[in-house]
Amino acid sequence: MRPLKFDNRFLNTFPDIATRVHATHVKNPEMLIWSEEAAALIGLDKPKDPHGIEAQIFAGNQLVDGMQPYATRYGGHQFGTWAGQLGDGRALILGESINGRHERLEVQLKGAGQTPYSRRGDGRAVLRSSLREFLCSEAMFHLGVPTTRALCCVLTGDKVERDMFYDGHPRLEPGAITTRVATTFLRFGHFQVLAADRNVEQLKQLVTYTINTYYPELMGDRVKWFKELCRRTAALVVEWMRVGFVHGVMNTDNLSVLGLTIDYGPYGLMDIYDPDWTPNTTDEQNRRYRFGQQAAVALWNLQRMADALALLTVDQGENHTQWLREGLEYYADVYNAGYVEMMARKIGLPTASVDLLTKLDNGMRAAEIDMTMFFRQMAEVRESEPTMTTKQALGVLALAFYKWPQPANNTDPLELWLKDYLEECKRDTRPVTEIVKDMNAVNPYFILRNYLVQEALDGLEKGDRKRLDQIWRALRTPYEINSDTRALYKKMPDWARTRAGCSALSCSS
């Protein structure tokens, strides 16, 4: 393995929120899957032996020169309620790696054992959650969504007890560890816990460090920094909405200070279009973190971040929070404009009115329709638009339907939308070939559906990794039509509607 260079500046700068800790030794590490693209970020080659030194290092059994593992302390609002101190209960950062381009990247193990912040947990992770995190991190990257990365997933050779749905039926499952890579894993909760401690000096120091290290172009300006954080967060949620991603646990401790998708727990990429859907069984009753609520929740979380940052200027008079209010208003402007622009691109129009998008939403809700396949098929509608009737357009889109709509009074809301849409298309003078190309660049052909990951896990349980390898190839070319993506261009099967791990997941891992 090539040598890695480490500069553990954060650990040495913030002893109040970074605590040295070592991983718990595991029995028999084995490399299950490796991302060459993520490995290139820190200058590593693909392992030659699944039981080699890479497996030992990324299972936490062995350190290399410069690694100084640590876990961090943070707080957070969970499901809208302040939960107090939390922290890296099952994650530890091996160190801050400096690559050949002098870029700083944190390398983190998830599932490596107990830390000072584990509370009553064992600090471990199981294969199903570890593989889901690995695959989705890389899938989101290739979809073009800002995200932390996954370097590898290592089987530990140990068994971990988990009660998947907290229903009193625990079982032993294969243990695994995911190695994650990001510029930083700092999250809103790191700032919140310092504010809760009334530790203004450390909070001020953390803000300065964050800007100087990760936003150097802002020259230490906290006003511009918060505005940029709001912009990045808004842009991130727009991207989630574009591909149908539901985070599932949008607590403030799960939002990145860089505007990255972070912490893949009970997530889902939507099969049947439903703005009220959440994959998280813990949130099943209130659906706080449902698909259609994500933009509002992100704003609420930014407001809680603003509450923490307000301590920095509390001595500056009556209008000391004006800079924070302006940032929050900017979030709303960026999100609203970005969402409309994104949706217009998805349906192949230069712009789209709120009325047209509302009718589209109503039409898609009226039937059981696959979100990804619907928008991908729309390119065929757009391509044939000059001669296409609404009935013919529905025929092209039929592939995406789970169940055909049953409208009252024989009035199909989707057909009514298509009629308005086709009229809008006639007013668009851009070359159709360019429009279709742009539509196919924002509407993926392949997404990482939960049932596919479950099929991969079922295969691994039998010693068969064919499905895993096929998914791994397909997720790296999500906009292309090739043998792997074509084979997986299918709606969710009926068996997956009620299968645990497919339509419903819990926070347990």
Q: What are the helix and strand counts (H, E) for the chain?
A: 17, 13
Do the Cβ atoms of 123 and 89 come closer than 8 Å? yes
Cα atoms in the Cβ-side hemisphere of radius 13 Å centred on 122: 12
Coil, strand or helix at 246: strand
Which contiguous run of DSSP H or E holds residue 121?
A: none
Q: How far is CA 391 from CA 2, 346, 398, 418, in A?
A: 60, 21, 10, 9
Exposure of 387 by Cβ count < 10 A (0-12 exposed, 13-18 middle, 19+ buried)?
A: exposed
Q: Which of 286, 302, 279 is nearest to 497 (CA)?
A: 279
DSSP string covering 210-222: HHHHH-GGGTT-H
Q: Which residues are catalytic?
A: 253
Q: How far is CA 409 from CA 8, 397, 406, 412, in A?
A: 67, 22, 9, 9
CB atoms within 10 A of CB 56: 17
Do the Cβ atoms of 153 and 32 come closer than 8 Å? yes
Do the Cβ atoms of 328 and 230 come closer than 8 Å? yes
Exposure of 410 by Cβ count < 10 A (0-12 exposed, 13-18 middle, 19+ buried)?
A: exposed
Q: Which of 444, 77, 69 is nearest to 255 (CA)?
A: 77
- What is the Cα–Cα distance from 271 to 269, expressed in whole angstroms? 7
